[in-house]
Amino acid sequence: VENRVVLQLSRPITDYTVNSARMREDFEALSEIGATPDDGVDRVALSHQDWQARLWFADRVYDAHLMQADDDAANLSGVLRCRQPDARTLLVGSHLDSVPNGGRFDGAIGIVAGLECLRTLREHDLQLPFHLELINFTDDEGTWHSLFGARAVAGMLPPDVTSEARIENAAFSAALARVGLRLRDVVSARRDPASLAGYLELHIEHGTRLERAGISIGVVTDIVGRTTYDIVFHGAAGHSGTTDMYKRRDALRGAAQFITRAHDLVRARYGDGIFNCGDVAVEPGKYNIIPSKAALTIELRHVSESLMSDMEMAMIQIARECAAVHGLTVDVKPVIHMPAAAMSPAFIQTIESCCDTLDLSHMRLVSYAGHAAQVLSQITPCAMIFVPSTGGVGHAPAEFTPWEDIEAGANALLHTILALAAAE
């Protein structure tokens, strides 16, 4: 194509850096929106605070002379347009929403760093061979539906999420209606994969691996897969005092044994696997009645899809054994399956060589938390840059990342964009 844009730098590559002070002002201003007394933020998706953050974001996009864009899933973007209209789009993103009583850094640093990258590139008047779009994904934290905005873009929202006929969706539908969106239209937020050049995100680690290693940049290789199951043990209620101890069909006893055995098995046989059971409902739920029903929700995570399915089979087997031993029946129902996602090997190498150029220490990591890249990797090459979380705290007001690390992460992001532009 004759009009193809080719990146041309007028200065040595290391001269291109973000304006750390300006980015910090943005971060401080954003931290005020939905601020809680203990230095956290509360910006639950589609809440008043979330909308305030979006208005703030839209103003910054306007001030930076970027183009504003949104879609039918309420994703909100600032775009640095390529002068070649049919060019592909490189997405850079994160999220402005938080968990209830969350931290200031999760999601927010990806947005302010992305904004700073777009501003810096625009100020240098660099012509990129792709549209560069900074996107704020709706409900990344799953207040309504986990990774909602990213799944809409990937065209991966199951019909039960977007059906207006389902009574369970009424409140979500109303929340979207307040901003002029209709649940049934969300599917049109899907992007054509051919229109995308990739997705990049800067995020906090939510763990202690970087801090312990004294390294400022984590290059994510994979995001773990995650499966949840509803497991219900059925026994028989009875008088707690008069029923023979050896003839009880105690549903909670079966459930308790299952939980303990599941933990032991994952530790013994699946070293990198995760098991969690944080939700147990017992019926009738009285101290003097033998439990007739124990309903659990369990979660499994693993970076390998094949070991994940091994682990799932093993859980089902244990549940059946625990039921049999205690004269119970058990129902096992899979609920959510998010497959493990591999990041783009080419993007991983690009980030690493940019870190070398910038003299930033880096290491490869697996992400044990879910992120937009997990779903977007199904339609476009993805990569994530992690920065340290002090003490590994995440999803809490005490969340903290030293500013030097955020600045380093933003520069790694900027240079990755430049390197991808040079390679396009």
User: Smallest distance, Å, CB 337 to Zn ion?
Assistant: 21
On the CB side of 176, CA atoms within 13 Å amount to 26
Q: What is the DSSP letter of 161?
A: H
User: Smallest distance, Å, CB 96 to Zn ion?
Assistant: 10
* Residue with smaller CB distance to Zn ion, 146 or 416: 146
Q: What is the DSSP string of 5-45?
A: -----SS-GGG----HHHHHHHHHHHHHTTB-TTS-B---T
* Residue with smaller CB distance to Zn ion, 89 or 94: 94
Helix, strand or coil for residue 124?
coil
Among 332, 334, 322, 298, which residue's Cα sits nearest to residue 235? Answer: 322
Task: Tell me the residue length of the chain.
Answer: 424
* Residue with smaller CB distance to Zn ion, 110 or 129: 110
Which of 50, 71, 97, 106 is the binder for Zn ion (CB under 5 A)?
Answer: 106
CA–CA gap between residue 60 and residue 85 (Å, rounded): 24
Q: Interface with Zn ion by CB under 5 A: which range of 5-13, 15-23, 102-110, 413-421?
A: 102-110
* Residue with smaller CB distance to Zn ion, 106 or 250: 106
User: Smallest distance, Å, CB 204 to Zn ion?
Assistant: 7
Q: Interface with Zn ion by CB under 5 A: which range of 100-108, 143-151, 191-199, 234-242?
A: 100-108
Contact 306, 300 (CB under 8 A): no
Helix, strand or coil for residue 125?
coil
User: Smallest distance, Å, CB 44 to Zn ion?
Assistant: 13
Which of 40, 103, 107, 273 is the binder for Zn ion (CB under 5 A)?
Answer: 107
User: Smallest distance, Å, CB 122 to Zn ion?
Assistant: 26
CA torsion angle for 79, 81, 85, 90 (degrees, to 10)?
-60
- Residues β-bridged to residue 337: 227
- Interface with Zn ion, residue 207, by CB under 5 A: no
CB atoms within 10 A of CB 19: 15
Q: Interface with Zn ion by CB under 5 A: which range of 49-57, 107-115, 333-341, 386-394?
A: 107-115
User: Smallest distance, Å, CB 370 to Zn ion?
Assistant: 9
Among 144, 140, 176, which residue's Cα sits nearest to residue 160? Answer: 144
Judged by CB under 5 A, how many residues of this single chain contact Zn ion? Answer: 2
* Residue with smaller CB distance to Zn ion, 252 or 338: 338
Helix, strand or coil for residue 312?
helix
- Name the site residues for Zn ion (rule: CB under 5 A): 106-107
